Structure 1
Amino acid sequence: MGVAVLTMGNRPVELRALLDSVAAQDEKAVRIVVVGQGAPLPELPEGVTAVQLPENLGVSGGRNVAMRRLREFGDVDVLIDLDDDGLLVETDVFSRLADLHEADPKLGIVSFRIADEQGETQRRHVPRLRAKDPMRRGLVTTFLGGGHSLSMAMLERIGGWPDEFFFTHEETDLAWRALDDDWKILYEPALLLQHPRTSPARHAVYYRMTARNRVWLAKRHLPAPLVPLYLGTWTAMTVLRTRDPKGLKAWFGGFVEGVRQPCGRRRPMRWSTVWRMTRLGRPPVI
């Protein structure tokens, strides 16, 4: 297994704590790569590979750099992405992951449970519509960016992260491609990543990129009849949920941007994948 961590260089204490928790795992990672997103990297533990980027490539771009570096080593079967302010509380996370991937060659993605220091999981961190019970394990249609594993064999087939997205919805883009290639996505709450409670709206560009990338998801992956259903549903939900007028204005600006700008190759998912996602509890209209 190989570990990839992105950092902006502004969390040296948290990053070191995360790397210490990685080193404490009972099954060791064969490779650890830390990517500096346009900022100097702090001193890293021995054995950690540093990749210094001249600019911030976003979550998608940075993770693609880490993925390519791990692939160059030639000895990584499973890639583990971790947020730089996360923490592996238990020492058996990697051994559990190894068992899961070894038991099922079609297991492409395993999503960790994310909880704060009090053990509480935010609703948005449960990758299913019925999110009341964060401890319910099972197959899902998307995964959490903060902590997950990816089969390298799967990535060889479906490709990496969508560079154009920068951040927000990049996990869904990758998940939809994985499902359409018949890979499984498992939410395993026994695998815990401790993470401070945050709101994605803390980022100034969150609303714009959320809308833009939502449109791009539809344009890239949905069968034509589902595109207006998916975008109409999310537009209505956004209008009902958003209390920030500036945020709502930015959201609609991003929506228009998504419609007007190219988003990469269009490859609609099969209708059998739509039905599979529906049976898993989340049809691609919401």
Structure 2
Amino acid sequence: MSHPRVDVVLLTMNDRPEQEKTAQATLLAQRGVDLRICVVGNGCVPDIVPSDAHTVVLEENVGIPGGRNAGARALTESGRPGDYLFFLDNDATFPTDDVLARLLAEADHHPEAAYVQPRLTGPDDATTPRRWVPRLRAGDPSRPGVITTMTEGIVLVRRDAFDAVGGWEASLFAYEGLDLAYRCWSAGWSGWYAADLRMHHPVTSPTRHAQFHRLAARNRIAVAYRNLPASLIPAYLTTWTAITLARSARHGGIRDSLQGMREGWALRHAQARRPMSWRTAWRLTTAGRPPVISTPAHPRSIRSPAGGTP
């Protein structure tokens, strides 16, 4: 009996071997799917590689989106790419052996969705911080529905949508999910949050990484200039800046946030502009997230730019 084929991309810097062994073991235990796996060494030669998996060795750390693109490209070039790509952080685990098969079933049930997002919890299978719920109304993480952003480290993406929009934006280096989500929506797709499907991830804070505040701030400006109609950019950035500064004043990182804002502003015109249509802006609005509302990355919400989650 043939099974649906999924290409899996996993980045590593050989910095968490025990967690990576566990992640790969739960991946290989998935049933009801045919897997092709690519382990990408982001500035290293991967130490842990499953049998028959592809390997990409990058001479330097090119960032999370660039590394993921390299893995997706290697699987394409190896022939017969799968219909879906699954991007997996190297410290995330599947709590049961049917998660991928059920995610594919969700994708079949929602053919309009370019990407399907499982519910992310801590290892206790219950704790879901608000920052991990990929929608504005995050009070009930068990509620499924249409989403306009993504938790990019654990997400299923249709291969044809991924290729059509050009994959991840490598210049962002990290914190790239909103950009890909916007481009998928601009191409006529949407996203789906499959809240009843869980994936496990350690609950950790990225603020121990010096680049967090700077890159998160820089990239918000870059994403706005890349994707929004010109008349929406001031409203988006005004809202985002006010919230970012308020949160930075409470939680720290205001100096790095300001530096990132300066970098983003200085480099804004270097962005490749592909502004969404007003129809897309309206679709985002009716889906619950007008593209003038920006929830900045919380100081405890985003992965390390080193190649996995902190």
Bin for the TM-score computed over the shorter chain: over 0.9
Aligned counterpart, 1:27 = 32
TM-score by length of 1: 0.95
Whether contact under 8 Å (2:106, 2:194) holds in the other structure is no
Secondary structure of the residue that 1:149 maps to in structure 2?
strand
How far did 1:210 drift?
A: 0.8
Whether contact under 8 Å (2:64, 2:173) holds in the other structure is yes
Q: Which runs of 5+ in 2 are unaligned?
A: 1-5, 294-310
1:281 aligns to 2:288 (yes or no)? yes
How far did 1:113 drift?
A: 1.1
Aligned counterpart, 2:304 = none
How far did 1:182 drift?
A: 1.0
Which letter maps to 1:70? Answer: L
Cα distance in 1, alignment partners of residues 20 and 152 from structure 2 = 17
1:48 aligns to 2:36 (yes or no)? no
From 133, 136, 149, the counterpart of 1:142: 149
How far did 1:204 drift?
A: 0.6
How far did 1:30 drift?
A: 2.7
Q: 1:47 to 1:190 in 2, by over 3 A?
A: farther
From 175, 178, 185, the counterpart of 2:184: 178
1:204 aligns to 2:210 (yes or no)? yes
Q: 1:92 to 1:244 in 2, by over 3 A?
A: same
Aligned counterpart, 1:222 = 228
TM-score by length of 2: 0.88
How far did 1:125 drift?
A: 0.5
How far did 1:146 drift?
A: 2.2
Which letter maps to 1:196? Answer: P
Identity of aligned residues (%): 40
Residue-pair matches, total: 285
Cα distance in 2, alignment partners of residues 217 and 67 from structure 1 = 22
Whether contact under 8 Å (1:220, 1:265) holds in the other structure is yes
| Alpha-carbon displacement from aligned partner over 1:70-100 (angstroms, at most 9, x marks no partner) | 2123231100001100000011111112222
How far did 1:263 drift?
A: 4.1
Cα distance in 2, alignment partners of residues 49 and 15 from structure 1 = 16
Q: How does 1:36-185 map to 2 (within 5 A)?
A: 36-72=41-77, 73-118=79-124, 119-168=126-175, 170-185=176-191
Q: Out of 103-112 and 264-273, give the one that drifted further.
A: 103-112
How far did 1:243 drift?
A: 3.4
| Alpha-carbon displacement from aligned partner over 1:45-66 (angstroms, at most 9, x marks no partner) | 2122121111111111001101
| Alpha-carbon displacement from aligned partner over 1:192-243 (angstroms, at most 9, x marks no partner) | 1100001232221111111110000111111111111111111110121113
Cα distance in 2, alignment partners of residues 266 and 173 from structure 1 = 12
Q: Which runs of 5+ in 1 are unaligned?
A: none
Aligned counterpart, 2:259 = 253
Cα distance in 1, alignment partners of residues 282 and 110 from structure 2 = 22
Whether contact under 8 Å (1:16, 1:44) holds in the other structure is no
